[in-house]
């Protein structure tokens, strides 16, 4: 066992023991604790849990890698995800918390109808399955490299651990586990970033010093036949950049596993402050990601460029065993580097390894490498647990309890069905994690697009447009979701289908924005052509937007 593997094992085992211990101490026996932690989570703790839930393996493992290879255009992920969180926090979360339901399907069910609830529950399962595939893949990558397992074996181990503590504690256990996971992942991300910034610039603040290397990085990129790192719209058309950012923004505001977090606070005011703390915790990582991407890209180009295949650094050989790095042994020297194997480069580097490999590339000591591995697992597991809970609640609460048992199931029965649903979700997501349709961050972007096309319009119109009725909401959700899924299947190589060219340059990551527009248009047309909601329902909608004093109608004096 190498020093890196030893330190990885120490950090991973210690962190996993902590997570499972927290889940065991927080285990619950009632649905209120299982789904919304009995609405008793402190504000700062909930903010950290939201940050961990939202910053998945895509944020920790894959985003900086995409920025490294996309350059300027990689900012789509930073702008989309961060802007979307602000949109969620300010526009939707407080109102949904005031409504006081467990799940997003419950909100749309009460606001519209049981049919819309069922459609929403199905959409929640589709979105969450797509999202959790990326997390399983991220866990598999960590174990594959650092514990000498195959990708398949890594996915199985990660899935087993996630299932254990998610089933034990439900939302209460997951929440406090995610606080610990956020602590691990942010320390694991910032320590190597600060150390590498110190090496490059003499100042250990990557967020403000990485600009000093961009000029040299531009020059290196051009020498390797790549586009200038800071030149915009070289990797994606301008239209697609706009649509991807918009899709990620409105998708974030419609994500069911993040929205449910705001039900766990004690008050509506607590939900608002949770949003502030979460944004602060998220910003610590997101402001460092561009620096990590730039430093990693510079180190790769500077360290392997012009080297013969048998003279490459040891980290290349270490990662070759995972299949995520490939060297053209027939090349005299490495003159081309790409993240796309179709380019047939001298050195292929998968996006998803750059953050994990960054400490090795920079020559940092083995304990730092092991810490980063533990951080990657924390990021993957924290989000996966929240997603599995959404799947569980959708099957147990929205399908089984509401549609099959018609409200007559016991607490014990609902919890059992929820845990069985979670186990089934884990088994299916393992298959997707072993054979994902794209890089981790891209798979997650697909989930955001699906959420944008389904949930966001229904929630926005449910809160802010009283005239929207059940027929409009149902038609809009089905149309938006069907359109988005169809385009993704058309442009991706999945389920044995052949990938087709992007229409007008719009990628499957950006199609969710157009799907959301389809949803809005269909919902508005159908709502206008059918009967309006009842007066009582309209008063209920007013009730979540305005205090009682604003709604009170003055009475006439009898005198």
Q: Give me the numbers of helices (H) and strands (E) for the chain, helices first please.
A: 25, 3
Assigned domain for 178 exists: yes
**Average confidence (pLDDT) over 364-381:** 86
User: pLDDT confidence of 226, banded at 50, 70, 90?
Assistant: confident
User: What is the mean pLDDT of the segment spanning 373-381?
Assistant: 83
When pLDDT is cut at 50, 70 and 90, the band that residue 553 belongs to is very low
Using an 8 Å Cβ cutoff, are 455 and 123 in contact? yes
Helix axes 3-25, 151-201, angle to 10 degrees: 110
Position 290 scores a pLDDT of: 93
Lowest-pLDDT range, 5-14, 99-108, 471-480? 99-108
pLDDT at 551 over 50: no
The mean pLDDT value for 187-214 works out to 92
More confident residue, 154 or 476: 476
- Mean pLDDT calculated for residue range 18-40: 59
Q: What is the pLDDT of residue 252?
A: 84
Look at residue 444 in the predicted model and tell me its pLDDT: 85
pLDDT grade for 264, boundaries at 50, 70 and 90:
low
Range among 130-134, 246-250, 313-317, 356-360 with highest mean pLDDT value: 246-250
pLDDT at residue 557, as a whole number: 43
- Indicate if the pLDDT at residue 36 is higher than 80: no
339 within some domain: no
What mean pLDDT do residues 333-361 have? 87
The residue among 385 and 13 whose pLDDT is bigger is: 13
pLDDT interval class at 521 (50, 70, 90): very high
Instruction: Give the CATH number of the domain where residue 375 resides.
Output: 1.20.1730.10
Rounded to the nearest 10°, the torsion over CA 111, 116, 118, 124 is -80
pLDDT at residue 275 is higher than 80: no
User: pLDDT: is 151 or 11 the higher one?
Assistant: 11
Q: Which domain holds residue 35?
A: 3-296+364-546
Burial 33-72 (b: 16+ CB within 10 A, else e): bbbbbbbebbbbbbbbbbbbbbbbbbbbbbbbbbbbbbbb
Tell me, yes or no, whether 35 lies in a domain. Answer: yes
**Higher-confidence residue: 417 or 290?**
290
pLDDT in tens, 414-432: 778 877 888 888 888 788 7
Of the candidate ranges 100-109, 256-265, 363-372, 450-459, the one whose mean pLDDT is the lowest: 256-265
Structure confidence at residue 295 (pLDDT): 92
Of 180-189, 361-370, 513-522, 549-558, where does mean pLDDT reach its minimum?
549-558
Give this prediction's pTM.
Answer: 0.84
Identify whether 559 is part of a domain.
Answer: no
Classify residue 369: in a domain, yes or no.
yes
Residue 235 is predicted with a pLDDT of 86
Q: What angle do CA 278, 284, 288 make, to 5 degrees?
A: 145
Q: What is the reported pLDDT for 133?
A: 83
* Mean pLDDT in residue range 328-351: 86
| pLDDT score of 267 more than 50 | yes
* pLDDT score of 454 more than 60: yes
DSSP 8-state symbol, 338 = E
Higher pLDDT, 357 or 397: 357
Q: Residue 340: inside a domain, yes or no?
A: no
pLDDT in tens, 111-148: 999 899 889 888 988 888 888 888 888 888 887 877 77
- pLDDT above 80 (res 393): no
The more confident residue out of 370 and 390 is 370
* 8 Å CB contact between 255 and 44: no
**Total number of domains constituting the chain:** 1
SS3 string, 379-405, reads HHHHHHHHHHHHHHHHHHHHHHHHHHC
Is 40's pLDDT higher than 60? Answer: no
Q: Decide which of 511 and 31 is more confident.
A: 511
More confident residue, 263 or 113: 113
Tell me whether residue 359 is in a domain. no
In a domain, 551, yes or no: no
What pLDDT is recorded for position 42?
A: 75
pLDDT for 555 equals 46
Greatest Cα pair distance in the chain = 101
What pLDDT shows up at residue 170? 53
Supply φ then ψ for residue 300, to 5 degrees. -70, -50
Band of pLDDT at residue 100, cut at 50, 70 and 90? low
Mean residue pLDDT of the chain comes to 83
pLDDT-based confidence at residue 88 (cuts at 50, 70, 90):
confident
How large is the average pLDDT for residues 499-518? 94
Mean pLDDT over 21-41 rounds to 56
- Mark out the alpha helices in 305-365 (DSSP H runs): 314-320, 354-361
Mean of pLDDT values over 508-521 = 96
């Amino acid at each position: 066992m190498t020093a890196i593997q030893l330190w990885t094992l120490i950090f991973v085992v210690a962190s996993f023991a902590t997570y499972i211990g927290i889940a065991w101490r927080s285990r619950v026996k009632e649905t209120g604790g299982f789904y919304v932690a009995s609405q008793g989570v402190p504000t700062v703790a909930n903010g950290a849990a939201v940050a961990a839930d939202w910053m998945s393996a895509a944020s920790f493992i894959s985003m900086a890698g995409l920025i490294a290879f996309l350059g300027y255009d990689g900012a789509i992920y930073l702008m989309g995800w961060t802007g979307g969180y602000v949109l969620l926090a300010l526009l939707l979360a407080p109102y949904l918390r005031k409504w006081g339901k467990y799940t997003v399907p419950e909100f749309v069910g009460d606001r519209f109808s049981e049919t819309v609830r069922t459609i929403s529950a199905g959409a929640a399962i589709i979105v969450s399955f797509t999202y959790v595939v990326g997390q399983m893949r991220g866990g598999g990558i960590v174990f594959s490299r650092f514990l000498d397992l195959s990708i398949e074996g890594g996915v199985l181990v990660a899935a087993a651990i996630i299932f254990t503590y998610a089933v034990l504690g439900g939302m209460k256990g997951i929440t406090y586990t995610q606080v610990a996971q956020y602590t691990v992942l942010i320390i694991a991300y910032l320590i190597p970033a600060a150390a590498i910034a110190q090496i490059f610039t003499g100042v250990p603040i990557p967020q403000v010093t990485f600009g000093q290397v961009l000029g040299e990085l531009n020059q290196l990129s051009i020498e390797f036949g790549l586009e200038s790192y800071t030149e915009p719209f070289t990797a994606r058309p301008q239209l697609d950049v706009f649509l991807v950012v918009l899709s990620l923004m409105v998708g974030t505001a419609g994500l069911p596993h993040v929205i449910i977090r705001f039900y766990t606070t004690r008050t509506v005011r607590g939900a608002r402050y949770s949003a502030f703390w979460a944004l602060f915790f998220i910003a610590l990582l997101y402001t460092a990601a561009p620096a990590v991407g730039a430093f990693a890209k510079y180190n790769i180009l500077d360290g392997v460029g012009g080297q013969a295949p048998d003279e490459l650094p040891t980290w290349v050989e270490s990662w070759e065993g995972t299949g995520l790095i490939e060297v053209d042994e027939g090349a005299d020297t490495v003159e081309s580097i790409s993240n796309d194997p179709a380019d047939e480069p001298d050195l292929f580097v998968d996006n998803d390894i750059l953050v994990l490999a960054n400490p090795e590339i920079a020559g940092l000591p083995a304990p730092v490498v092991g810490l980063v591995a533990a951080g990657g697992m924390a990021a993957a597991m924290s989000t996966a647990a929240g997603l599995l809970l959404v799947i569980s609640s959708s099957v147990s609460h929205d399908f089984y309890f509401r549609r099959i048992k018609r409200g007559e199931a016991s607490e014990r029965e609902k919890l059992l069905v929820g845990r069985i649903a979670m186990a089934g979700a884990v088994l299916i997501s393992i298959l997707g994690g072993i054979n994902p349709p794209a890089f981790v961050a891209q798979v997650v972007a697909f989930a955001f697009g699906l959420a944008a096309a389904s949930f966001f319009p229904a929630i926005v119109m449910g809160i802010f447009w009283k005239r929207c009725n059940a027929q409009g909401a149902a038609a809009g959700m089905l149309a938006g979701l069907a359109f988005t899924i169809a385009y993704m299947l058309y442009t991706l190589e999945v389920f044995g289908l052949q990938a087709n060219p992007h229409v007008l340059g719009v990628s499957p990551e950006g199609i969710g924005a157009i799907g959301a527009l389809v949803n809005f248009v269909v919902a508005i047309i159908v709502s206008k052509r059918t009967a309006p909601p009842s007066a009582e329902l309209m008063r209920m909608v007013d009730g979540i937007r305005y205090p009682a004093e604003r709604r009170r109608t003055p009475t006439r004096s009898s005198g």
